[in-house]
Amino acid sequence: MKTHQPTRGRLAPSPTGAQHVGNARTYLIAWLSARSKGGRVLLRMEDIDSPRIKPGAAEQAVDDLRWLGLDWDEGPIVQTERLPLYEQALDTLQQQELVYPCTCTRADVERAASAPHQEHEGPVYPGTCAYRRAADADSLGDQAFAWRFRVPDEPITFHDAFRGPMTLNPRDLSGDFVVWKSAGTPAYQLAVVVDDALLGITEVVRGDDLIPSTPRQLLLYRALGYAPPTFAHVPMVVGPDGRRLAKRHGDTRLASLRAAGVKPETLVGLFAWSCGWLERVEPITTQELLPRFRLDTIPPRPFVLETDLLRKIGYR
């Protein structure tokens, strides 16, 4: 008899900058999805991208989430405190010859004639160093290298809880991808798989810009012997020009909204209206929103953050 596995969701901000309205909408959906099932929520700080980490950004993210009305049962769990776990995973991949040392720079890959560019994904790796075996790292001396995962040329199919069945071929999206950087730190794809697996995460709700990451992560789950979570990729918040939120769209940082006197219930109400849970923009708390949550009412298109919507919540 199959036993029901309790839901464990997560919020995973990256302290590479301030959290903005687009981040907040996705966090709210992820939180509601787990809490509506009576599940637990973990908070994880994805801080392994050390050159881009901003001082104080992690503490600011915690304040922003609490201001919004989100809570968690475990954490903050900090990735830079978990490096031995990622090293163990890399060792497992090396023993299986599923990774190889790559000395190519990004410029090398971009110059390769057979490296077409994918939007947001960069060039497809042409396999220049794929002839190497894991043990060849010992002969590279002081030469800098990263570890790349050997991607089979096969489609990966998974069921997205929001979008339904999806099939993608990671070889077409990125080719062999980096799991360990030349700087000696784990890449996002490896760290997130190890963390979600070892922390018992059962569902991952995130922005649809990460859809191309999913087949790569599923390959890592399989290689490391982990059971994958369910995935739900929800539409992002974009500016009036249809592009993802950025400085060009003005200041949409949560800290700025707070400083301007915007009430969190008003912002939550805007998100609830955008997801089809309210008929109009009106204040509502995260707890009051719980019984209204439905993943299938969220429009499949991006949410366009027009200036008049910000005025509706008392900002600008």
Q: Is 294 helix (H, G, I), strand (E, B) or coil?
A: coil
- Could you report how far apart the first and last alpha carbons of the chain are, in Å? 56
Phi-psi region of 141 (alpha: psi -120 to 50; beta: other; left: phi over 0): left
If residue 60 lies in a helix (H) or strand (E), which one and from where to where?
helix 57-68
Active site residues: 247
Contacts of 27 (CB under 8 A, 6+ apart): 11, 13, 19, 65, 68, 70
Closest CA to 253 of 71, 50, 70, 61: 61
In whole angstroms, what is the distance from residue 310 CA to residue 269 CA?
A: 12
In whole angstroms, what is the distance from residue 40 CA to residue 77 CA?
A: 14
Helix ranges (DSSP H) in 148-212: 170-173, 188-198
Q: How many CB atoms lie within 10 A of CB 267?
A: 26
Contact 238, 302 (CB under 8 A): yes
CA atoms within 13 A on the CB side of 73: 13
Query: Could you tell me the two tokens for 173?
Result: 């999206």
Q: What Å distances lie between residue 154 and 62, 118, 127, 260, CA to CA?
A: 40, 18, 16, 51
Closest CA to 18 of 50, 63, 48: 63
Give all strands (DSSP E) within the chain, no chain letters: 8-11, 40-45, 74-78, 99-102, 117-118, 122-123, 146-149, 156-160, 164-168, 177-180, 203-207, 230-234, 237-238, 303-304
